[in-house]
Structure 1
Amino acid sequence: MKLRAGIVAAVAVAGVSLAAVLVPRQGHGAPLRAGAEAGEEHEATRVVRGALCGVERWPVKTLSDPGARQIDFTVRPATVRYLGSLQANPGGQDSRGPLETRVFGVQARLVSVKRESDSDYHLVLAQGGATMIAEMPLTGCTSGAQHRYAMALARTELEHAVGGPVGGSWIHPGVPVRIVGVLFFDFPHGQSGHARNYAELHPVTGFRVLNGSR
């Protein structure tokens, strides 16, 4: 009887493990995870004139790269799901992929936001079961950048919407917003709420709360 009970228990454990492997992830994109809420993202940082800023593709993320002058700032309406379906084709450290010269505007729900180690505001947007990330750099990290004022204004508008500067812990506004930003393809580094193809609006150049929710 003991041997039989041991076999049954082993089969049950194996079944649970197999189910964990075989059950597909739901939705399009990545939902917030407990580990990410605890701060598992990994971003290299450096100090620039007293501000803690990023390193990886930082000129592109802040419109400080030579190719920023080639960006078409005509705003193209899009959905979160559509941007997550594009073929990822990122550029290099200070160069842009073909789609990274386009600006898109999306309407979505601002699910969560926090300040990251590189001082960016990390926004998780959700729409129709799909998620993606939008990022707002700190003004102190954008010296000499194209459209620096627009980036700073968008960040200020977000702070006004959530009641002040955002800290390093997640907050969950849950409000409908319109976000405008430059398309950017990131790489996996533990980020929460990413699109399937790691497409982001980075940096954000426009932010507005919809439906009088402010």
Structure 2
Amino acid sequence: MRLTASALLLTVFLALTARTAAAQARRSCGVDRWPVKVWADKDAALVDTVPVAATVQMLASLSVPELVYPENGRIRPHEFRTYRVRAVVERITVEDDGDWHLVLSEPGAPTLKLIAELPSPECATSATLATRFRAARDSLRRVPRRGTVDIVGIGFWDYIHNQKNGARNGFELHPVTLIVPIR
């Protein structure tokens, strides 16, 4: 069977489009320690889910671990802890991977910042996590501009990469599992 030039061109175009779509689907849920970010890493079951009270200032002043960050494992002790932080939601943006990226500040000290991320429920690895991520997003929708929240999330060391409005040490709350609007 002989293909005309236009049929061949169309076949190549469709094949490249399918390959690109497949690659984007694989990337759409994130990179850089993604299993840790969505609580699906090999250490996930070891995370203490009882929240420890913390502040933006406290978490932003933790010492940076001097080791290679594992792609599918956690760094002791902070990534094995769940934190509850009262903070002002300064800004919300949607990342390419579907995460809701929150810039939090210390109440009364707006220059002290910390990033928290709510993964897309579609990127959750279980129905339970998808429900938690969706519920946290629904709660966030009720927070007024520059509103105060109690936010619960698991500690996460992000690579330091000149991220705007993040803690200088790269510490984040990722994933966020609960948001309670305060005012």
TM-score tier by shorter-chain length is 0.7 to 0.9
> How many residue pairs get matched?
155
Query: Structure 2 CA distance, aligned partners of 1:151 and 1:88?
Result: 27
Distance of 1:151 and 1:137 partners within structure 2: 6
Q: Are 2:103 and 1:118 aligned? A: no
Against the structure 1 CA distance between its residues 72 and 210, is the aligned structure 2 distance closer, same or farther, given a 3 Å change threshold?
A: same
For residues 91-119 of structure 1, give each alpha carbon's deviation from its aligned partner in whole angstroms, at most 9, with x where no partner exists. 41101000201011111110001101111
Matched residue SS, 2:141: helix
The letter of the residue matching 1:118 is D
SS of the aligned residue for 1:64 comes to: coil
Q: Secondary structure at the match of 2:164?
A: coil
SS of residue paired to 1:83: helix
Taking a change above 3 Å as real, the CA distance of residues 57 and 208 of structure 1, as seen in their structure-2 partners, is same
Alpha-carbon distance in 1 for matches of 2:63, 2:127: 27
**TM-score, with structure 2 as normaliser:** 0.78
Structure 2 match to 1:92:
70
- Aligned-residue identity in percent: 35
CA contact (8 A) 2:160 2:169 kept: no
Give the corresponding residue for 1:134: 116
Deviation, 1:85, is 1.1
AA aligned opposite 1:106:
V
Structure 2 SS opposite 1:56: coil
1:192 Cα deviation from its structure 2 partner: 1.9
1:109–1:174: 8 Å Cα contact kept in structure 2?
yes
Q: Which amino acid aligns with 1:210?
A: I
Normalising by structure 1, report the TM-score: 0.67
SS at match of 1:47: helix
1:47 to 1:56, Cα distance in 2 relative to 1, 3 A? same
Contact 1:65 1:94 in 2 (8 A): yes
Distance 1:88 1:53 in 2: 26
1:143 is displaced (CA, Å) by 2.2
SS at match of 1:122: strand
Contact kept? 1:63, 1:145, Cα under 8 Å? no
Q: RMSD over aligned Cα, in angstroms? A: 2.0
User: Aligned partner of 1:115: which letter?
Assistant: V
Residue identity in the other structure for 2:28: L
Structure 1: stretches of 5+ with no match in the other structure: 1-44, 163-172
Distance 2:157 2:128 in 1: 19
* Maintained 8 Å contact 2:37/2:174: yes
Q: Which amino acid in 2 is paired with 1:150?
A: R
Contact 2:86 2:148 in 1 (8 A): yes
Q: Distance in 1 between matches of 2:61 and 2:128?
A: 28
